[in-house]
Structure 1
């Protein structure tokens, strides 16, 4: 089938006439009038017919037809359609013009990452068996980019990303004057079953470690780690560094959120405990305690000075004075604490030097009228 169209009956009849009729009626004959004279548009239709031929006729064991490339297939179509026969002699130029235009048509697809963001899904084409790439394809006329990506991924992997895609989360590159945009879809379970919906287009879908993909043309990591030449990833290479950057940003954000949560729960507590070792109480409460300690020390000095309980001199202190000191030391200004009969009895009872271990209730400004065991709290703070 390598001979020039028009010079070989073998080439002319390698695809049966009835099959050519069917293909032309499906994809060529019924074109709108404005497209019939547009050779570039016709070539796009021939490409669709070519894939249909490979998918349905070449896989039918009853026909036993051999697959062929796009150039040979186009030659059969141009010979078979009367309106195209005049262009058979310039077929190569027509196809070159079509390929040049085709490169300017944007291609959209997706990068599928596993749950750990460590592996990426790549597909292998029947016609490029030695290379791997992303599921992607060319946009149709008036088709939105993200819808094109959803369609192509579904066709090539059988996986529906329509509910997962973020229209603003993608990597875009210009390769050989062709825009390639890949939407990033993360957190796909690695045990997901992928089943291409087009026959004889995608041979395999496999997960590859992102860390083992080549970062440049001379990177031999794939050869060392997987036994695969880096040339097999030439369609992936332009996106590897940006994929890794995307993963690093997401991973770092997750780690920061984790650390932030931990800081709020345990970190603050630890920091607070550490600070409390140096500064356990507020300045106002510290002053109250110091005043209490000073008065307590003065009272003890007065008691031990004369060894008597009821003096008015330097070594004596009346029960009334001690009562006032006890009641006002931790009492807010303009607030009269309620004194229970028991407290009153204790306050007015004779107090010996050794009776300071007796427990008293008091109201402190810092605790807004809550009552505490005074001695137990002071023992903890001093």
Structure 2
């Protein structure tokens, strides 16, 4: 029996497609599998923000949502591909394509570098992207950060200093790159992918979708940071200790502590000098006592 079609209002679909799909490069828009990645972002945004702000919108999974988008924009399937088959192929493909990038912190460890997608309605997130075949995770992070910001982290990256999480079944890993001067000039290497690159105070970023901190302190709604939210969550200061290269134990500000909702791997932000891969290895104590 055919399941009932999910009825998402046309104006909502228009807005979501405008935000996430219609202005991506033509070579990606003509690839149904690639379009599904954008549909996934739109679905996440729909669940986290559209439904919160517009009572009465139907709850739906990614399959029904994708069907609604493809039916709303039939030109996304120019050859009449079967939507169900496309979604299955995309899910299979996605499981094997993780993304890697970086959390770039300033010298005071109080600000973080975020990038904004090229579209006018795009939000802010960490520089990252999908790994190429046979590419090492840290090499992918270096390449993606260089492409999106023009900043080379090759001599700063520590392979064991990262935060890792699965977001909607896709692995995402961000390497911690502390100690970058706020005077650094950033310029994306790719065209029509990144519109803006800015430093943001970590304490002003939202920790969850209903956190209105950025609205009151930055004049930006939390949904503008929906790609960063999964990576920003405070860790109690008592749970963090960092071993300084000179054997001094340092305490970092709470605002510099990142924790993913479902913690897999985490290594504390450390001071790293240019040209030095990693001066010391941090560690988290007492994570079992933290309420996730």
Same fold (TM over 0.5): yes
Secondary structure of the 2:151 match is: coil
Q: Does 1:218 align with 2:210?
A: yes
Aligned pairs for 1:206-355 (under 5 A) are 206-241=198-233, 249-250=241-242, 257=248
What TM-score, normalized by structure 1, do the two folds share? Answer: 0.43
Match for residue 108 of structure 1 among 68, 93, 100: 100
Q: Which residue of 2 aligns with 1:134?
A: 126
Match for residue 161 of structure 1 among 147, 153, 160: 153
**Which 10-residue stretch deviates more, 184-193 or 237-246?**
237-246
- Alignment gaps of 5+ in structure 1: 1-19, 29-38, 48-69, 80-87, 260-382
Equivalent-residue separation in structure 2 for 1:243 and 1:206 (angstroms): 24
Contact between 2:241 and 2:249, CA under 8 Å: does it hold in 1?
Answer: no
If each structure's helix is expressed as a fraction of its own residues, which one has the higher value? 1
Shift of 1:91: 5.4
Contact between 1:117 and 1:247, CA under 8 Å: does it hold in 2?
Answer: no
Distance 1:102-1:73 versus aligned 2 partners, 3 A rule? farther
Distance 1:155-1:221 versus aligned 2 partners, 3 A rule? same
Distance 1:233-1:184 versus aligned 2 partners, 3 A rule? same
Equivalent-residue separation in structure 1 for 2:147 and 2:124 (angstroms): 16
Distance 1:95-1:192 versus aligned 2 partners, 3 A rule? farther
What TM-score, normalized by structure 2, do the two folds share? Answer: 0.55
Contact between 1:171 and 1:242, CA under 8 Å: does it hold in 2?
Answer: no
The structure with more radius of gyration: 1
Secondary structure of the 2:102 match is: strand
Equivalent-residue separation in structure 2 for 1:163 and 1:186 (angstroms): 12
Contact between 1:103 and 1:176, CA under 8 Å: does it hold in 2?
Answer: no
Match for residue 194 of structure 1 among 178, 181, 186: 186
Aligned pairs for 1:360-371 (under 5 A) are none
Per-residue CA distance 1:173-221 (angstroms, 9 max, x = gap)? 1111111100000000001111001111111110000011112222211
Per-residue CA distance 1:344-366 (angstroms, 9 max, x = gap)? xxxxxxxxxxxxxxxxxxxxxxx
Equivalent-residue separation in structure 2 for 1:221 and 1:134 (angstroms): 19
Distance 1:102-1:212 versus aligned 2 partners, 3 A rule? farther
Residue correspondences, number: 192
- Alignment gaps of 5+ in structure 2: 1-25, 38-68, 251-292
Shift of 1:129: 2.9
Equivalent-residue separation in structure 2 for 1:103 and 1:75 (angstroms): 23
Contact between 1:125 and 1:203, CA under 8 Å: does it hold in 2?
Answer: yes
Q: Does 1:181 align with 2:165?
A: no
Equivalent-residue separation in structure 2 for 1:246 and 1:120 (angstroms): 22
Equivalent-residue separation in structure 1 for 2:194 and 2:34 (angstroms): 20
Match for residue 172 of structure 1 among 159, 164, 178: 164
Distance 1:91-1:210 versus aligned 2 partners, 3 A rule? same
Distance 1:217-1:146 versus aligned 2 partners, 3 A rule? same
Q: Does 1:96 align with 2:110?
A: no
**Which 10-residue stretch deviates more, 194-203 or 240-249?**
240-249
Shift of 1:249: 3.8
Query: 4+ residue stretches of structure 1 with deviation over 4 A?
Result: 70-76, 242-248, 252-256
Shift of 1:237: 1.1
RMSD: 3.9
Equivalent-residue separation in structure 1 for 2:239 and 2:149 (angstroms): 22
Higher relative contact order (CA 8 A, sep 6+): 2
